[in-house]
Amino acid sequence: MAKMLSIPELLAHPGMQEVVVPFTASKTGLSEVAIGRGGPVKINYEIHGTGPIKLVFIMGLRAPLIAWLRQINFFGHEHGDRYSMLVFDNRGVGSSDKPLSRYTTSEMALDLKDLMDNIGWTEPVHMVGVSMGGMILQEFAYRFPDRLASIVLQSTAATIKAEVPFFENLKRRAGLIKPKTLEERLQAARENLFGPKFLEAPDEKGVFPTNADRFNAEEIWKTENVVQPPFFGFLSQLVAAGWHSCSPERLKHIGDHVKYVLVVYGGEDKMIEPPHSEHLIKCLGPRVRSHLFPDAGHVVSTEYMHEYNALVKDFIEEAAASVNNVQ
């Protein structure tokens, strides 16, 4: 394994000049949601691509919409004539409002419905949710199955259960909110989000020595170019994810009413361990499909970007041909 660059070495690296190049959206805006629910709350959103098949990607805890960068490139630009892709900052992060209130995954699902109504996306869409985003998607699917052509639940859970010894689980959760230096934050994120095989592998673009270096570089770019969430916004999202609970009965309802359901997860996920996905697969019913990436961690969509994008694309195309009769 190549030696990982130090932060000073990384900051001086010529690759930092173009480590993240945001794609130009076909539409951007701030949409007022939660009217009559403690709002208005302004939600920052982007639409990439102009194609007939509508996709909605829901990001997880503390992460801004640009965390979908690899999928924005693939679906919204490489295949932008086929897809229109909606990405957005959940309340509490990025350029969306950060109201001083208790957040729940059900409230954030209603935020998403309001956003979709506001931009005129009232027909069934294909929706992908990762981690907390997958929890929001469960709440959306239970309430509004008629608004969905397919769903992909990535690295998520119906409810968080400790699958490791108590003190190890406590250490991981406490580590999310304990103040850290930049170097400590990067190390904790790498260890919790990715499998070691990915981190040690050479950077695919050949700019940095390893994937670990590219991750560090991208995170440094985000601290300088993306609005950082206040502690309250992050903590509110953390509480929403921690208190999320979707019963087996509600999961069955989702499986009965949404024909196309795919569960994607990593075998070495330390944040939401594999038994959580296995529980989803069991409860969603006989039509659910699943795909395990055995040596992946929490962020499968980054670790196995090409395989993940192809998997989701094929799944969406099958669902679109059936539900929307898109040829």
Confidence of residue 232 (pLDDT cuts 50, 70, 90): confident
Q: Which residue type occupies 5?
A: L
Is pLDDT at 1 greater than 60 in this prediction?
no
CA trace torsion 230, 232, 233, 236 (10° rounding): 160
The reported pLDDT for the residue numbered 166 is 47
The reported pLDDT for the residue numbered 326 is 41
The reported pLDDT for the residue numbered 3 is 80
Could you give the C-alpha distances from 311 to 70, 225, 308, in angstroms and in order?
14, 31, 5
The reported pLDDT for the residue numbered 165 is 60
Structure tokens at 44: 């920052």
The 10s digit of each residue's pLDDT in 122-135 is 999 999 999 999 99
Confidence of residue 240 (pLDDT cuts 50, 70, 90): very high
**What pairing do the DSSP bridges indicate for beta strands 27-33 and 41-48?**
antiparallel
Mind giving me the DSSP string for 104-155? -HHHHHHHHHHHHHHHT--S-EEEEEETHHHHHHHHHHHH-GGGEEEEEEES
Residues in CB range of 64: below 8 A, 6 or more apart: 89, 93, 94, 95, 222, 226, 227
The 10s digit of each residue's pLDDT in 13-54 is 999 999 999 999 999 999 999 999 999 999 999 999 999 999
Q: Which residue type occupies 299?
A: V
Confidence of residue 229 (pLDDT cuts 50, 70, 90): confident
**Chain centre distance of CA 262:** 15
The 10s digit of each residue's pLDDT in 196-227 is 999 999 999 999 999 999 999 999 999 999 99
Residues in CB range of 106: below 8 A, 6 or more apart: 139, 143
Q: Decide: pTM greater than 0.85.
A: yes
Q: How many distinct helices (H) and strands (E) make up the chain?
A: 13, 8
CATH tag, 7-14+28-323: 3.40.50.1820
The reported pLDDT for the residue numbered 161 is 86
The share of the chain scoring above pLDDT 70, in percent, equals: 93
The predicted model gives 51-60 an average pLDDT of 98
